Chains A and B, each alone.
Chain A
Amino acid sequence: DQQVKQNSPSLSVQEGRISILNCDYTNSMFDYFLWYKKYPAEGPTFLISISSIKDKNEDGRFTVFLNKSAKHLSLHIVPSQPGDSAVYFCAASDQGGKLIFGQGTELSVKP
């Protein structure tokens, strides 16, 4: 099941710089997209979401961009902080139903 893909297993960024995490999807029925952050031995923590009627949603240092024609979304974190180091999962759903997750991208923010 490759409906949601995160092609970069890892990303390393310097503190203070921008982190850009990418996600691609194939199912055009998806209408809601989410980003979760996960620390070891914890569950996924909701970070930010976007509905398919929008192309951008911003919450503090976090911005999610959605490009429906390319079936692509990205999460921008600026400025990146060492505490942002975690695994980030992209997820998608249709009509508020089950979430389909990507494989995750491990972000490392170096001081």
Chain B
Amino acid sequence: EPEVTQTPSHQVTQMGQEVILRCVPISNHLYFYWYRQILGQKVEFLVSFYNNEISEKSEIFDDQFSVERPDGSNFTLKIRSTKLEDSAMYFCASRTGTSPINQPQHFGDGTRLSIL
């Protein structure tokens, strides 16, 4: 069964450094998402991406965050200058664009980001 893959599984970075989290969504999917889960808290929406542009973003997704689909397969989340509070599990998700509009999002296994 096709799956969403994320790399790396664990990223350790010094505060203030840039980090790029990578995702390969399911190949025929058209909608892409990033979520994060801080330890002990809910899974929170960060951003959604469709047709090569951001379709929605949360208040968490400030100017330090950006997303990109650099080619036909990868979907990346960049944090420009990491802060301690960015430490979390980051999940990528994708869903098909076929009708009906309500289709489930499928998640990768996440990247654990640890900021020192």
Contact = CB atoms under 8 A, between A and B. Distances in A.
Interface stretch (B13-21, B67-75, B100-108): B100-108
Nearest to A36: B107
Contact of A97 (B56, B106, B108): B56
A89 B43 contact: yes
A36 B102 CA distance: 15
A45 B91 CA distance: 12
Given A43-B4, A43-B110, A102-B42, A96 B104 contact: no
A43 B35 CA distance: 11
A37 B43 CA distance: 13
Given A98-B33, A98-B45, A101-B42, A44 B104 contact: no
B109 interface: yes
Of the four ranges (under 10, 10 to 19, 20 to 34, 35 or more), the interface on chain B belongs to 20 to 34
B43 A49 contact: no
Contacts, number: 58
A46 B42 contact: no
B107 A44 contact: yes
Contacts of B87: none
13 contacts: A1-B42, A32-B102, A42-B110, A43-B107, A43-B108, A44-B91, A51-B100, A96-B31, A96-B101, A98-B48, A99-B33, A99-B35, A99-B45
Given A34-B104, A46-B104, A98-B33, 13 more contacts: A43-B6, A43-B107, A43-B108, A44-B43, A44-B91, A49-B102, A51-B100, A91-B43, A98-B56, A99-B43, A100-B45, A101-B44, A102-B42
